[in-house]
Every structure is written in structure tokens, then in C-alpha cells.
Amino acid sequence: MSPTQTILQAIPGNPYIGLQRADALWHDYRHGQIPTPDVVSTQTEPLDLENQSDTYDVIICGSTLGILLGATLARQGWRVALLERNILKGRDQEWNISRSELRTFVELGLLSETELETAIATEYNPARVYFDGGEDLWVRDVLNVGVDPVYLLDTLKRVFLDAGGELLEKTPFSKARVAPDGVQVTAGERTFVTRLLIDTMGHFSPIVQQARQGESPDAVCLVVGTCATGYEHNQTGDLIASFTPIKNQCQYFWEAFPARDGRTTYLFTYLDAHPDRITLEDLFEDYFQLLPDYQGVSLEQLHFKRALFGFFPAYRNSPLRFSWDRLLAVGDASGHQSPLSFGGFGAMIRHLTRLSAGINDALQQDQLNAAALGWLQPYQPNIAVTWLFQKAMSLSMGQSLDQHHINSLLTTIFQDMAALGEPVLRPFLQDVVQFLPLAKTLLRTSVYHPMLVAKILPQVGVPAVLDWTGHYLSLAIYSALNQILTTPAKDAGYYWRRWREALIYGSGSDYDGPSAQR
């Protein structure tokens, strides 16, 4: 047996079976066999909501991240039902985030200060950024907090239920029929009616698959990792590290975090969905081969407790806006995080205040048609510009690059950002791009490393640069308008408030920065 099979089969629950399932789905995505289910239909006749049983203002499908939004909406007084195919329970592996971002839970009244502290399972400092051939860069208070998902979701579940929300576990979404006055939702053997249906079922939601109609992802992040004991005591982490040249037409990157019951290490890479791309098991084989060099420990010293793996598709057509009335994609289902990010928790927290306020407005003002709901997932130029960064951190099949090119490129860019100070480096590490920090970085790199800039163009291609230039100019416009315009009053119209929020978030001006640390 391969090392991957041997190690994973020895972990409780035999995650090797799950790895094979994930690889089968990844095979389908690489070979254009993406499912296109027919789960959403429309009708012209109204549902007559007043004479329907099991009627809600909002039904949310998918509870892991849906409970965050469900709890806020229930506390606002809406009738909310949460559909979950299994049991609502957090996983054992912590979610890493920055402490300032966690303040959202307190500000929305979802957690008390004491509950917030209890939800924090681990906290470490500092974190490293490193690329082969460069120097270590160390930052503090970035993704350095590990949240206990079990406690967090259990607490939010209690908040949701106390506010009158209804949790329907072991009730998987089956289909939805959209009518002029509502949506009829079939889940398991039951039928419900709601004014608004929210999809938080993630990247592989059947509603999302139907909306995208088999469209191949524009980029993919493959991730494998484990949580294990046996490492030397180490209270530092790696936000992104690379110590090997290009391999398998991929540049490998690592993350490492202290965990409550060991140390978590990830290996990830950015690529496209070409049929000849490596499998998750291939990546896991390289993970176990390289892990001893990365962490300075032999595999025999480690006791593996959990295996972590997955692939995360990203689409340029994001955030996803459904063409159906009364349907809204949120979280990973919408793809509202950047193509560099492979976890939806941080993005969900970042947008939670905006989404809960916007959905509340949409329900109050009956702005539930597709166009109105589309403004809840607006174009964000600060996310769109990151597509060029993703392309610069990967290479296509058949493309020939110096094996150290990507490490050299990233070393230079991150050192330039570090030289410009934390106001430039820190937001980028938290998946927030802002115009002035980006402009300063580009100017410094162009002046001090003109030949490096010249090397990027052949790698990414002229069309990608032209596309990026349009988003970069949009980012400049959004940033300027955000400085000029005032914050809308609470009684401002629905569309004005949504446009104002689009400027704030699309320019990265929602970022609180280190001043929000507690």
C-alpha cells in the first residue's frame, strides 16, 4: 500500500474512503463531467401563502455556515427554517481567523464576550511567510486564532432556537419551485413554503450546479493535510511557505498552525481543471514525502489524528447571482471569496453584517426579484484583481518556467510589501486587497525590480493583464467614490444602500485593521 493509504486507513473513521470519493468528484470536474441537476423550476401561478402550512420568511439550505446567517435573521424577528441533511455539528478541526474578525459575533449580538473567549480554542503568534531563496517574514495577529467549531455552532444553534428559528436536521434539500409569491421547497418527505430561499450548501450545491450548467471552473485549489501529535513544541505558524521548486506543473505551498490537540499542516497548490492534473492522492503522497523536511520530524514520530483534504473550484463569474427570483447564494455557494482563499468561514464572517442587513431590507421592502437580490452579491473589484495573483502563482499544463520562478517572484513581491509596512502587507494576508497598498507595491516592484515585472507578462499572458487592468481601474474608482460619498441613512432606499455597500466592500474599506484587535 502507498504511504497515504497506510496512514489514512489507520486514522479513526478511515478517511481514505472519503479521499477516494473526493478524487472521483475531482476526476469528473477535470473531464467535463460536472453534474447539472434539475432541482429548481418555476411556475406562473401563485402559491397562496396565507393558506399554506409550514410557511416561512426564509429557508436556509445548509447549516454549517447557514447557522451564522440564520441566527442573525431569526434575532431580527423573521420566521427562519434551517434545513440540514445530517446533524448540525461542528468538525473537530479548528477554523483559523484573526481576532479582530471575530468581533462581528459580539457586534451582532450572537456571542457574549465570555462566549467569544470560550470559542477560541488556540491562539498563537507570530506567523511566518517564506519562499525558497528568500528571508522569513514574521507577522502578528493574522489568522492566529483557532476557533472551536463544535462549541461555536452549538452556541449559535442555541441562539437560533431561542430566537424562534426552526432547525430541521436530517432533512436534505431535494428541489424548489419558484412562484410569483414564494418558493415551494421539498426536503426529504416534507414540503415547505418560503418568501426567500438561501443556498449555503457550498461549492457543490445542486442549485449552484444547475445555475452554472456544467461550466468548468476557471481555477482550483487542491488541499491536503493532517493534524498530528509528536512535533516539537512550536507556538508559531506558517501563513504561506514554499521550500521546493515547481513539481508536477504545480508550485507547492504550505500552512501550519498549532492546534488544541496537536499541530495542523496543509499542503496546497493552485491549478486549472485540465484532465492531466494530479489527483488529491498524488498530492497526499508528496505531502507525506515532504512533511519530514518541512517540519523537521520523521513520520514515525507522528501520531495522525485527522486527515484533511478537498478541492475548491473558483469561477470568474462570482459572486454568483441566480437568474431565479427569491433565490440567493451565500458563502461558498456564491463564491464570494477570492480565488486565493480555500475556506469560506473568514469570507462569511466578513460579509455577515452586510448580508444580514441587506436580507432584512429585502424582506421588509419585498425586494425579492433576481435583480434586487443580485445587489446582495455585487461585483467586487478588490476580489477580481486577485485572479492575476492566482495565475502568477500557478502554471498551465505544457507551460515551461524556470523551476524557481514562482518562488523568486513571490519572494520579491512579499519583501516589497513588507518594506512598505504592515498597512500594505497585513490586509493582503487577510484576503483583502486595497487600491493604495496595491498601487504602492506595484510602483516599488516596477522601480526596484523591472526585469521581474517583464518576466510576469509571458507567464500570465497579455489577455490576463488586460483583464486585470480593467479591474484595477475599477478598484481605483470604487476607492475614490467610497471616500467622496457619505454613509447612507438607515431610511435610505434599498438600492442606494446596496450600492454604497458595494463600494465599501469592493474597495476593501470594510477592513478594520490592527486597530480592531482586542
pLDDT tens figures, 83-116: 999 999 988 889 999 998 999 999 999 999 999 9
For residue 484, the tally of other CB atoms under 10 A from its CB is 8
Report how far residue 362's alpha carbon sits from residue 317's, in angstroms, rounded to the nearest whole number: 23
Tell whether 396 and 478 lie within a shared domain.
yes
**Sheet with 145-147: strands ordered across:** 95-97, 145-147, 120-123
Tell whether 385 and 302 lie within a shared domain.
no
Give the pLDDT score at 515: 39
Q: Is residue 10 part of a domain?
A: yes
Span 174-210, pLDDT tens digits: 999 999 999 999 998 899 999 999 999 999 999 999 9
| 453-477: average pLDDT | 92
CATH number, residue 253 = 3.30.9
Summary mean pLDDT of the chain? 93
- C-beta of residue 238 within 8 angstroms of C-beta of residue 396: no
Q: Is residue 196 part of a domain?
A: no
Give the pLDDT score at 456: 87
Tell me the residue type at 303.
H
Closest C-alpha among 159, 170, 181, 174 to residue 80: 159
Q: Is 256's pLDDT higher than 90? A: yes
Give the pLDDT score at 47: 87
Give the pLDDT score at 342: 67
Tell me the residue type at 253.
F
Tell whether 385 and 503 lie within a shared domain.
yes
Q: Report the number of distinct structural domains present in the chain.
A: 2
Give the pLDDT score at 453: 77
Q: Is residue 39 part of a domain?
A: no
Q: Counting Cβ atoms within 10 Å, is residue 113 exposed (0-12), middle (13-18) or buried (19+)?
A: exposed
Report how far residue 147's alpha carbon sits from residue 348's, in angstroms, rounded to the nearest whole number: 14
Tell whether 421 and 497 lie within a shared domain.
yes
Q: Is residue 388 part of a domain?
A: yes
Last residue of a domain, one of 314, 337, 372: 314
Q: Is residue 271 part of a domain?
A: yes
Span 398-442, pLDDT tens digits: 899 999 999 999 999 999 999 999 999 999 998 899 999 999 999
Last residue of a domain, one of 270, 291, 314: 314
Give the pLDDT score at 511: 84
Q: Is 55's pLDDT higher than 60? A: yes
Q: Is 517's pLDDT higher than 70? A: no
Last residue of a domain, one of 298, 314, 330: 314
Q: Which domain holds residue 391?
A: 381-507
Give the cell for residue 57: 420568511
Beta strands in 99-218 (DSSP E): 120-123, 127-131, 137-139, 145-147, 166-168, 173-179, 182-187, 190-199
β-strand pairing of 55-61 with 190-199: parallel
Q: Is residue 247 part of a domain?
A: yes
Query: Please, which residues have CB within 8 angstroms of residue 515's CB and are 6 or more apart in sequence?
Result: none
Q: HSE on the CB side for 17, CA within 13 Å? A: 5
Q: Is residue 282 part of a domain?
A: yes
- C-beta of residue 301 within 8 angstroms of C-beta of residue 230: yes
At residue 516 the predicted structure's pLDDT band, cuts being 50, 70 and 90, is very low
Closest C-alpha among 404, 112, 385, 417 to residue 245: 404
| 135-162: average pLDDT | 96
At residue 458 the predicted structure's pLDDT band, cuts being 50, 70 and 90, is confident
Tell whether 299 and 385 lie within a shared domain.
no
Report how far residue 426's alpha carbon sits from residue 428's, in angstroms, rounded to the nearest whole number: 5
Give the pLDDT score at 485: 87
Tell whether 279 and 391 lie within a shared domain.
no
Query: Do you know the residue count of the chain?
Result: 518
Q: Is residue 444 part of a domain?
A: yes
Span 283-303, pLDDT tens digits: 999 999 999 999 999 999 999
